[in-house]
Amino acid sequence: MNFHFYVGNDNGNSEHDLIIDGNLIQQPNVNCTVDELPWSEEQAPESFIKNLPDQLVVTIDSPAARPGMYYVGKFALESGEILDNLQIGIDLKSDMDLPVVNTLAQIAAAAVQKAYDEEKKIPDHIDVEVDMATALPVTQHTDATSAKFEKRFTGGSHHVTVHLGIQRVAVKIVFPFTKVVPEATPVIFTLQKDADGNWREGDIFQDFVESYHIEKKFNGSYFKDKRILHVDIGDGSTEYPITEGNKFLRQFVYGSHHGTGYAIEEALGEFNRLIHLPESPRQFFSDVIKNPKHKYHARAIKTLKRPMESQVRQIVQNVKRQLTKARNEIDLICVYGGGSILMRSMLYPGLKELCAEREMQLLYIPAEYAVQLNAMGLDAFVRGKIYEALKNKAVQTA
C-alpha cells in the first residue's frame, strides 16, 4: 500500500503534537529503548489499531537515529522503563534522536491505522511519502541547524516496524522535502485561516472580542497586517518573535530559557517528598497538573506556585525587553503554548496592564487551542503555496 501524508510536526519539550493526514495526535514527547516486546500472550492484532498511538512499540532502522526497539509516548511514560526526554535548556533538538524516532513512529502508526481503515485488514508492508513542516526553537534556529535537522529526515529512507502484539507491519517512510521553520512563526497562519483556507472564526477569539468590546463580526482577517509580538510558552523555552502580516522579522529573534518545565523541575523534589516517591519524571508531574481529578493534583499545584511565579516574572521582563527593542511599535501581544495554560492566572493580569499602558491589545489564546496552535500552523504551512514554492525550488536546484 502507498500513502502520501502532509505532516505538521510540533516537537515540544514536554508534548509531541502532530497533524498527520489532517488528524491531530498528542503524546508525551518521551521514548525508551527496550530489548523485547511487552506482550507474551497472543492478542488479536486488530485490537491494537484504534488506540495505536497510546500503545506504540516500534523497531527503527534509520540513517538518522540509533537502531533499536522503542516504546513511544504514553506507552513509554507508563512503562516504568528509563525514559529518554528532551533536557530543557540543554539539548539541541536538531542533534537529538528523540524527535526523529518519535516522528517516524507516529507517522508509521498513522499509516497502519489508515491502511486498516481502508482495507479492513492489516497489511504486511506500507510505503509512505511525507511532506513535512517542523520547527526549532527561535534560539536554536539557524540556517545550519535547520538544514541539519531537515537532512535527518530527507537523507535516506526510514524503515519502521510497528508491532501489533506479535504481528509486525513494515513501514517504509521517505521525505522528498522537509522544511524547518522557527517555532512560533507558523501561528500567524493559524490565527488568520482555518483548515479549509477560510478566515478563522469562533470561540478561539471569544475572550478577545469581549475584552475589547468588538461589535462587528470578527474573523482572522483582523490579523493579516498586524504587527504581533508572540509569547510562545513551552516547557523549556519561551519564544518572543515578532511578525508583521505573514513576515517573520528576523531582527527581533529572541527566546529565553523560561517555561513551566523549569518550575516543574524546581517543584519536583518537594512533590516527590509529599507523595513518598524517591523520584518521578517531569512528564508524570505534568500529567498530574493537567488532571484535576488526580489524587495528587492539589499537592502538585501547591508545590508549583512559588517556582511558577518566578518564571512568570522573568517572562514579563523579557516581553518588556522585546517591546523596548521594537519601540512599542506592536499592535498585539499573542500568548499561547502549553505553558500559557498553567501560567494564565498569574500572567494574564500583568500582561493586560502592560498592553493598556503601552496602547496595544492582548490576545491570550484559550486553553483548548493553546497547545495545538503551532501544529495547526505547521499543517497550514505544509499545505500552502509557500511550502510548494520552496519544494519546487529545491527540486530544480537538486
**Do 243 and 249 meet the contact criterion of CB atoms below 8 Å apart?**
yes
Please tell me the distance from the alpha carbon of residue 122 to that of residue 128, in angstroms, as a whole number. Answer: 15
Residues 264 and 297 in one domain: yes
**How many structural domains are present in the chain?**
2
pLDDT digits (tens, 9 = 90+) for 12-27: 878 899 999 999 999 9
| pTM (global) more than 0.75 | yes
Residues 204 and 328 in one domain: yes
What does the radius of gyration of the chain's CA atoms come to, in whole angstroms? 21
- Return the closest-CA partner of residue 98 out of 175, 8, 184, 16: 16
Residue 302, pLDDT score: 92
Q: Which whole number is the average pLDDT over 25-43? A: 90
**CATH number of the domain where residue 226 is located:** 3.30.420.40
User: Which residue matches cell numbers 516486546?
Assistant: 37
Residues 229 and 155 in one domain: no
Pairing mode, strands 158-164 and 15-20? unpaired
pLDDT digits (tens, 9 = 90+) for 323-343: 999 999 999 999 999 899 989
Q: Residue 41: which domain range?
A: 2-182
Rounded to whole angstroms, the maximal C-alpha distance in the chain is 66
Residues 240 and 169 in one domain: no
Residues 132 and 37 in one domain: yes
pLDDT digits (tens, 9 = 90+) for 169-196: 999 999 999 999 988 788 988 999 887 8
